[in-house]
Amino acid sequence: MEHADVIIVGAGHGGAQAAIALRQNGFEGRILVIGREPEIPYERPPLSKEYLARDKTFDRICIRPAQFWEDKAVEMKLGAEVVSLDPAAHTVKLGDGSEIGYGKLIWATGGDPRRLSCMGADLAGVHAVRTKEDADRLMSELDAGAKRAVVIGGGYIGLEAAAVLTKFDVHVTLLEALPRVLARVAGEALSEFYQAEHRAHGVDLRTGAAMDCIEGDGTKVTGVKMQDGSVLPADIVIVGIGIIPCVGPLLSAGASGGNGVDVDEFCRTSLPDVYAIGDCAAHANDFADGAVIRLESVQNANDQATTAAKDICGAPVPYKATPWFWSNQYDLRLQTVGLSTGHDNAVLRGDPATRSFSVVYLKNGKVIALDCVNMVKDYVQGKKLVEARAQLSPEQLADASVPLKEMVA
């Protein structure tokens, strides 16, 4: 039977960084990366930003060029999927029935887009934006003349896609079921700012919007029917309502988990010699007061990859990374540090009307997160406040004339 010293399942950010980190930490054994997609590892965030907007070609979003992987002796088995594993025998089974043995296994599969469950969800013209294939299919429909789009979901994927579509002279309607966009990840001030920005750019943004189903001509989407009976005409529909972590084979093999697979501070699952990293890994996070969460970010995937690699190489360092995230919409760059979930106060720093401001989130008087719009200095300096759990008054934080670095004890 074929055997690899380390098998990495998943060829996204986490999987790629795990292979890189293993070599950086002196690992000399055979590394095999198994990925469902035919492409070498590439960056996902640009799919709803620069790649969809055609500002970057595919070669510019590859994490490393093909030659890099060859030079580092990292083998790729692409267009292949692990469907099960035997933790006792230390083997994985692929979709074609073949089996491969492993010494250590790193599960870095991320998640699949959550799909609509309503009638018409499977019609042609209904898109997710999770893979290069997704983005390419959407781009081909734009090239074919699609001019009316409905975006379902007011999270980052939906907002970013809506912003890009306006560049192509597409009429965009964005539907968010909750009372405001970004409701799960940001405070009201940021939500209101982005709602106003999208409307100013011509997006018909509707909150508290209840859809009923997708309508079509039998094969292709023609519109989105709302619960009030009205129909929004659509040539394309983009669905951005979250992901479902791809952990079925691990849970079936007995790994602890539910919404993702549970890992400890070294990214080890409950299965022997099996690690999990990135979007699919549920871990106790210090920045969430120790709550077990999944973090869907490049930062988390990369840092957990390094944690797993160091543990495999015999130099364990617990995962303690500071969460950060970014989003590009129009000419706005949002940078987030920390986790604002559970905040009990949000302090506005600067004037949103200038399109350059920050929101500082507090919990029990301590700084837990910042959202910074076109405000790089606040983002960089605010990170230290988050890490220190700095206790500052709202009045201090609201004074934009005082740099945040002067508030660090």
Q: Per residue in 64-110, pLDDT tens?
A: 999 999 999 999 999 999 999 999 999 999 999 999 999 999 999 99
- Average pLDDT score, the chain: 96
Q: Is the confidence at residue 409, as pLDDT, over 80?
A: no
pLDDT digits (tens, 9 = 90+) for 352-368: 999 999 999 999 999 99
Secondary structure string (H, E, C) spanning the chain: CEEEEEEEECCCHHHHHHHHHHHHCCCCCCEEEEECCCCCCECCHHHHCCCCCCCCCHHHCECCCHHHHHHCCEEEEECCCEEEEECCCCEEEECCCCEEEEEEEEECCCEEECCCCCCCCCCECEECCCCHHHHHHHHHHHHCCCCEEEEECCCHHHHHHHHHHHHCCCEEEEEECCCCCCCCCCCHHHHHHHHHHHHHCCCEEEECCCEEEEEECCCEEEEEEECCCCEEECCEEEECCCEEECCHHHHHCCCCEECEEECCCCCECCCCCEEECHHHEEEECHHHCCCEECCCCHHHHHHHHHHHHHHHCCCCCCCCCCCEEEEEECCEEEEEEECCCCCCEEEEEEEHHHCEEEEEEEECCEEEEEEEECCHHHHHHHHHHHHHCCECCHHHHHCCCCCHHHHCC
- Which residue in 110, 114, 112, 107 sits closest to 250, CA to CA? 107
pLDDT tens digits, one per residue of 26-76: 999 999 999 999 999 999 999 999 999 999 999 999 999 999 999 999 999
This prediction has a pTM of 0.95
Which pair of structure tokens corresponds to residue 208?
A: 């508290």
Please tell me the distance from the alpha carbon of residue 159 to that of residue 196, in angstroms, as a whole number.
Answer: 12
pLDDT score at 408: 77
Give pLDDT tens digits for 218-247.
Answer: 899 999 999 999 999 999 999 999 999 999
- Please report, rounded to a whole number, the percentage of residues in the chain having pLDDT higher than 70: 100
* Average pLDDT rounded to a whole number, residues 139-168: 96
pLDDT, tens digit (0-9, with 9 covering 90-100), for 325-346: 999 999 999 999 999 999 999 9
| 267-276 average pLDDT score | 98
**pLDDT tens column, 127-146:** 999 999 999 999 999 999 99
The answer for residues whose C-beta is within 8 angstroms of residue 25's C-beta and 6 or more apart is 309, 310, 313, 315
According to the model, what pLDDT value does residue 276 have? 98
